[in-house]
Amino acid sequence: MPVVPTPTTLTEATAAIDDREVSHIRNDFPILAQQVNDNGLVYLDSGATSQNPLSVIEAEQEFYEQRNAAVHRGAHSLAVGATDVFEEAREAVARFIGARSNEVVWTANATEALNLLTYSFSNATAGRGSDDSRRFVVQPGDEIVVTEMEHHANLIPWQELAFRTGATLRYIPVDDDGALRMDEAAAVINEATKVVAFTHASNVLGCINPVEELIALAHARGAFAVLDGCQSVPHLPVDVKALDVDFLAFSGHKMLGPTGIGALYGKADLLNAMPPFLTGGSMITKVTMEGADYLPAPNRFEAGTQQISQAAALAVAVNYLQETGVKRIAAWEATLGRRLVEGLQQIEGVRVLGPGAGTERIGLAAFDIAGVHAHDVGQFLDDRGIAVRVGHHCAQPLHRRLGLIASTRASTYLYNTTADVDYFLEAMASVRSFFGARS
């Protein structure tokens, strides 16, 4: 049977999610039933990698058992079937973000998607591509704008592009609480700005940024707007057409899908004008010994053998999210996020990063505990079966701005219960006394 759902199955329920429904959802995730250090697993690290429902795991297995063949290359029945699954998966993921299928490029992850962009801009700067690609040329005098809260994946590629081209990298700063200084954004984004790249939701602060305002500022200056959707696409309704964003990057492993697959959304006219980054087979129309002509997007960016089974599994993950209801998931995570923040703020010596209780956030909270290193906190919680993230979360500049080297992060998803959060908070209440930290 096909592993990719048809559009008619993509309906959302309307009733609010509650703990009773989550207890049923958890049955779909076999990994959550295991014991860790003689305790039931409480998984609070979905901001790094989400877990997979059985249907997603089975989708990859089903592909290899029934459909394994190269796509876009063979005329035999197995290859045609594999190609159908591959392209139906693209259509499913495109619908999920409000895009057309020719606007979704498969990548290994969001990091590769963002590097694809920056290297394509480099190739345009080097004179590769058609006359249409000149709009992507970056040169001395141009400016690239990011924010001080960016994940390294949406910072370092732009740094490197600036180094390669002689452009200037600027950033929108954050205040002492980690909120973007939107009062400074209009000055940072100016006539010299070529690109504005920013996160939709911070993987450290949990805040949801004013995306529409930032996109409008970029477009008013004739700049491209690039959105890191790693922490938004899995957790919030995202419609690229409503946002009018030029490019969006996200990863499958953060949204119930397998590792090894992500996507770059780009407006069709932009993708078709961009020179390719990776070159080789399956992305060309004509090759001579002197040169090559390239296919339209998205194929021009998908050289070589693709992530076929992963794409099929990601489509099933997308179907799972839609059948559960993305708006419902967002509301449930907001409830869990508030519970996390309110509980942590009541514990002596705990500093929660980002917006406080009462401010919109995703279901994530990073924090510092006075007198206890984040790695010690993580080990203490792991001994009790609680999985959290520790370190700088690939956001060193943000941590430095907040006066920290590292923090501990708890992040939720649709399979977490209020009992998970309460068990975590109960353990947190005894961390400082366990390590003998002074008040």
Distance CA 377, CA 386 (A): 11
At 202 the three-state DSSP class reads: coil
Q: Would you please indicate which residues are annotated as catalytic (active-site) residues? A: 394
Q: 3-state DSSP helix/strand/coil percent for the chain, to nearest 5?
A: 45, 15, 40
CA distances from 422 to 21, 91, 244, 284, 435 (A): 18, 40, 39, 55, 21
Distance in angstroms between the alpha carbons of the first and the last residue of the chain:
61
**Residue entry with tokens 């290859």:** 79
Of the candidates 386, 364, 366, 362, which has an alpha carbon nearest to the alpha carbon of residue 374? 366
CA distances from 98 to 68, 201, 327, 335 (A): 29, 19, 15, 26
Do residues 96 and 321 touch, judged by C-beta distance below 8 A?
yes
**Residue entry with tokens 């049955």:** 27
Task: Return the half-sphere exposure (C-beta side, CA atoms, 13 A cut-off) of residue 398.
Answer: 31
